[in-house]
Structure 1
Amino acid sequence: MPRLLLIVGCFALIISVLSLYLPLLNLFDLASVEWMSQHRIAVFNQITTAFSALGGMPFVLFFTTLWCLHLAWYKKYSEIVFISIGIFGSISIVWLLKFTFTRPRPPEMYHLVASYGSSFPSAHSCYAAALACLMILVYRQHTHHKLIALFAFIWMLCMGISRVYVGVHFPTDVLSGWSISLIWIALLYLITIKFSKA
């Protein structure tokens, strides 16, 4: 599973980085945002606005803290360290890349919510993918692993789509956010496993 996440993440990152330099992908990005804005309905506006709040750094840190406290109750300290490094690593990487690429966001007339920082990569998508990957890997041996993995994937997918729907990100920003966490969490897991066996 971690190797598959790594391969998918690398492939997605290549495509998303190419979008910064290929006019055709830029046109696709803008057309996607325009199409989403033209097909908005009130109920989806409310749902995606809620996703914007739930997917931001404050809530992600709050949720991660509760998760780690739950694991501490069962004395699963190695999982707590893995989750903490995974989340803080994802946050650090995505903001470092935002400052590096400084890609402008879609035109403000498409925005349904307030946004901060540059467009590439999407931090919300990165956080969602980080949580999803952590859930999938931490609960690999759980009896309901498939259900957990499905829920995690749906959360990641919905968060990414919502960022394009509310007009603050291009699809390739979302793809890059997902790919960063897929690569980072997969590498972190593989390194953790290697050292735990040493």
Structure 2
Amino acid sequence: MNILRSPFWATTWRLIKDEVGLLVALAIVTGGLLGFLAIADEVIEGETAAFDRAVLLAFRQPGDPAATVGPHWLPAVALDITALGSIAVLSLIVVFTVSYLVLVRKRHAALFVLVAVLGGLGLSNMLKALVGRTRPDLVPGAPVELSASFPSGHAMLSAVTYLTLGALLTRVETDRRARPFFLVVAVILTLMVGYSRVYIGVHWPTDVLAGWCLGAAWATLCWMVALWLQRRGQIEPAGA
């Protein structure tokens, strides 16, 4: 008998993976919160103005901020991508996901998705009102946005939604080789949405960075709570 497959070693290996996973999750939550607080402090003090302006204008043609760099079709693509982080699109994704989970009687998982996303939305709106940063005014013809600029709601909510759904899919996928795929896709979508916000000129770069930091921290924190509840038998077990 292979000793590494014995019940003792199987249990030991599972505990080691759980501990490593907890440490990684804590590192993400802590790093995300510290990153957000550091950026917020610099933004409130006005220390990021030069950086934000330089990065935003780097996406525009020199001497003509109305024209973007890159191929002529890229602005239209950026608008399509930025819609993936809009309230309308994310709401549809969440509604369909929650509806499916309720239909298959995974009500606790459905509640987890709702709490994670709605909690992230509430946190984003509260911080926008608290900081009250104005939108960039460097790009003529940029889409009109009525909410405050900091943090980027698109960046934060796309991180919360896509990372939460990616984590859910990794828990039900039986093939270990395929599990990282869902989180990789979630990260790529989140990065693309944030990049598009700066590219079309509706957010300062630090808005997006702060949204990414806080969104990743919030999604990870919610997932840690869900795993804790799962181990206490108050949420569906892994693979269910």
Given the two structures, how large is their TM-score scaled by the length of structure 1? Answer: 0.90
Determine if contact 2:101/2:107 at 8 Å carries over to the other structure: yes
Query: Structure 2 vs 1, CA of residues 87 and 128 (structure 1 numbering), >3 Å: closer, same or farther?
Result: same
Determine if contact 1:8/1:182 at 8 Å carries over to the other structure: no
CA distance in 2, matches of 1:168, 1:96: 19
Determine if contact 1:130/1:185 at 8 Å carries over to the other structure: yes
Query: Structure 2 vs 1, CA of residues 27 and 110 (structure 1 numbering), >3 Å: closer, same or farther?
Result: farther
State whether structure 2 residue 90 is matched by structure 1 residue 56.
no
Equivalent residue, structure 1, for 2:127: 97
Amino acid in structure 1 at the alignment position of 2:195: I
Determine if contact 2:135/2:148 at 8 Å carries over to the other structure: yes
Relative contact order, higher structure (CA 8 A, sep 6+)? 1
Amino acid in structure 1 at the alignment position of 2:155: S
Q: Which of 190, 198, 202 is the matching residue for 1:168?
A: 202
Query: Structure 2 vs 1, CA of residues 192 and 133 (structure 1 numbering), >3 Å: closer, same or farther?
Result: same
Q: What are structure 1's unaligned runs of at least 5 residues?
A: none
Determine if contact 2:129/2:148 at 8 Å carries over to the other structure: yes
SS of the aligned residue for 2:48 comes to: helix
Query: Structure 2 vs 1, CA of residues 111 and 148 (structure 1 numbering), >3 Å: closer, same or farther?
Result: farther
Determine if contact 1:19/1:25 at 8 Å carries over to the other structure: yes
**Which deviates more from structure 2 when the two are superposed, residues 6-15 or residues 166-175?**
6-15
Q: Which of 111, 118, 136 is the matching residue for 1:81?
A: 111
Q: What are structure 2's unaligned runs of at least 5 residues?
A: 1-23, 62-68, 233-240
**Offset of residue 189 of structure 1:** 2.1
Structure with max Cα Rg = 2
Amino acid in structure 2 at the alignment position of 1:35: A
CA distance in 2, matches of 1:63, 1:87: 11
CA distance in 1, matches of 2:27, 2:165: 15
**Offset of residue 24 of structure 1:** 4.8
The CA RMSD over aligned residues, in Å, is 1.9
Equivalent residue, structure 2, for 1:106: 136
Counting aligned pairs with the same residue, the percent is: 22
State whether structure 2 residue 169 is matched by structure 1 residue 139.
yes
Given the two structures, how large is their TM-score scaled by the length of structure 2? Answer: 0.75
Q: Which has the higher helix share?
A: 1
The count of residues paired between Structure 1 and Structure 2 equals: 198
SS of the aligned residue for 1:167 comes to: coil
Equivalent residue, structure 2, for 1:123: 153
**Offset of residue 176 of structure 1:** 1.2
Deviation string, structure 1 residues 143-163 (Cα, Å, up to 9, x no partner): 322111111110000000000
CA distance in 2, matches of 1:197, 1:109: 51
State whether structure 2 residue 47 is matched by structure 1 residue 17.
no
